[in-house]
Structure 1
C-alpha cells in the first residue's frame, strides 16, 4: 500500500538523515553552444548543505557516450582538491570533447568509498548530460551500466516547476521500492579555483529529501527551483559487498532545471 501511495504522488519526500553523499559531475552549462572540450569537476560532497567533502580516489571508469558510441576519458583526469567550509579533500578535473550535435552522456564509475561512521562502502555510479544544437540522440536510452536511472524527461532542460520522472534499473531490470535521495547543488563549484561559490539556498529541515520507486521502478519529483538536481537510488546495484564489508552500490543522475524567461 505504501509503494502505491508513493508512486501516485508526483513529489513525495520524507526525512531520513541530515546529510546525503553525492558524487558530482559538475559542468558550468548543460547546453553547449560552441564545439570544444567541456571541463567537468568530479567532487564527492554534501551539495545541499555545501558541507563536508569526502576524498575521491581515481575513478575506475570515466567516459562519455554520444550517438551510442563510448569514448574513454580517463586520460583527461587530473587530480585536484576541493575545499568545503570545514575541510579539503581530493577531487578530479576532467574534460569532455563536445564537437558534433547531439547528447553527451558523461559517466563516472568511482572506486568504492569507505564511510567510516557506518563502516560500509559506497559506490555511486553517476551520469550527467550535455547537449549541443538541441538534437536529442542518447538521453532516453539506458547506457548499460550495472545500475542507473533512466530519465523520462530530457535531463538537461527541465522546466522549474514541472515534474521530473525516472526509472531505476539494475542490470537492465527495474528496481521496485528503491530509496532515492534527492539533492540540490546549493553552492556551485568554482571551475577555476578549488572551492565553491556562495550558497544560494539552505537545506530543508528534517534531513534528506527521499522518494521511493514503484513496483516497476518508476518515480517522479516536482522540481521546485532552477539549477542542478541530483537523484541517488541507494543500494540499487547488484553488488552488495566490497573487501568483506557491506557495499551500497548506488545509481546517481544529475539534471538541470531552468526558469522560463
Structure 2
C-alpha cells in the first residue's frame, strides 16, 4: 500500500520562518498514567509551533470521551478561561476529568466555528487527543463517530521519536484520498496552572506548513523527528461547507505524543 512519507532530519533543522497554522488543542501534559488521577484538560485555539497568536473560542458544541466503546458527554465539565499567549489573550476552556480505569481514553472536541476575518471564512477543527492508563490498549485505533476524523494506525500515546506515525482520514466514516494534512509541532506547551505558554523548544520550519497527502486508501505517514506533541490537521475534510452564509472549513485534527528512546 502506497503511503507518503515525510522524513525530517533532526531538531536542529528547525529554522526561522513561521508556519502560521491554526491548531485546536485538547491538551494535558501527561498522556500515560500509572495511577488514577483528576486529569486537567485545556482547550485552546492557537499557533503552538511559533508560540503565536491565540484565537477566541466560542462555547464548544460537543466535548466527550470514549472509553472501551462507551461515549460519555463531558460538556458540563467545561469552564471558560483566559489563555495568556505570548502575543495576546484569548478565550479558551478547561475541564477536569477523573481517570480511574485502565485503558485508552479518546477525548473529542467539536468547537464552535471560528470566523477568520482575514480569509472571510469559518474554521471548525474537530479535535481528538488520547490518554492511556496502565499501558492497557482498549481501542485507540477505533473511530469515535465525528463527521470527519483522523484514526491513528500507531498507538498515539507512545510513539518513538525517529520512527513514523500513520493515520487514516475519514469523512462521514469513509476514507478520503488525496487530502492535504498539515503537520504541527507543539513547540510551546501550555502551563496548565498559569494558563500561559512555556518556553518554545523549537522554531518553525522554513517554507511554511509541513504537509502530507493521503493515498488512495485515505492513509498518510509522517516521520517523527523529535519528542513531544505532534498535531495533524486535514483542512476542509468534513461534510459541512457553510456556516452563517459563509464558507466553512471543517477540519479533522489529531494530537499524538512522541518520546525519545532511552
Given the two structures, how large is their TM-score scaled by the length of structure 2? 0.94
Q: Deviations over 1:162-200 (max 9, x none)?
A: 000000000100001111100011111011012111111
Residue 242 (structure 2) pairs with residue 241 (structure 1): yes
What is the CA distance between 1:43 and its match in structure 2?
0.4
d(CA) in 2 for partners of 1:105, 1:116: 32
Deviations 1:140-160 (A, max 9, x none): 111111100010000000000
Partner in structure 1 of residue 104 of structure 2: 103
Q: SS of the residue aligned with 1:75?
A: helix
Aligned CA-pair RMSD: 1.5
Provide the secondary structure at the position in 2 that maps to 1:216: coil
SS in 2 for 1:117: coil
Q: 1:116 matched to which residue of 2?
A: 117
| 1:151 maps onto 2:123 in alignment | no
For 2:172, the equivalent position in structure 1 comes to 171
Shift of 1:74: 1.2
In the alignment, the residues of structure 1 paired with residue 241 and residue 206 of structure 2 have an alpha-carbon distance, to the nearest angstrom, of 31
* Partner residue, 1:45: 46
Cα offset for 1:96? 2.2
Partner of 1:136: 137
Residue equivalent to 2:71: 70
Q: Offset at 1:215?
A: 1.4
Match of 1:218 in 2: 219
Q: Structure 1 residue 75: deviation in Å?
A: 1.4
- The answer on whether the counterparts of 1:12 and 1:211 sit within 8 Å (CA) in structure 2 is no
Is the Cα contact below 8 Å between 1:158 and 1:258 reproduced in 2? yes
Shift in Å, 1:8: 4.0
2:11 paired residue number: none
1:55 aligns with 2:53: no
- Report the CA distance between 1:83 and its aligned residue: 1.5
What is the match of residue 10 of structure 1? 5
Shift of 1:128: 0.2
Give the corresponding residue for 1:194: 195
In structure 2, runs of 5+ residues without a counterpart are: 9-17
In 2: Cα distance, 1:9 partner to 1:233 partner: 15
Q: How far, CA to CA, are the matches of 2:187 and 2:211 in structure 1?
A: 17
CA distance in 1: counterparts of 2:193 and 2:241, whole angstroms:
37
Partner SS, residue 76 of structure 2: helix
2:93 equivalent in structure 1: 92
Task: Say which is worse superposed, 68-77 or 159-168, in terms of deviation.
Answer: 68-77
Q: Distance in 1 between matches of 2:99 and 2:125?
A: 24
In the alignment, the residues of structure 2 paired with residue 134 and residue 52 of structure 1 have an alpha-carbon distance, to the nearest angstrom, of: 36
- State whether residues 5 and 212 of structure 2, in contact with CA within 8 Å, keep that contact through their aligned partners in structure 1: no
TM score, norm. by length of structure 1: 0.94
| Distance in 2 separating the partners of 1:217 and 1:72 | 29
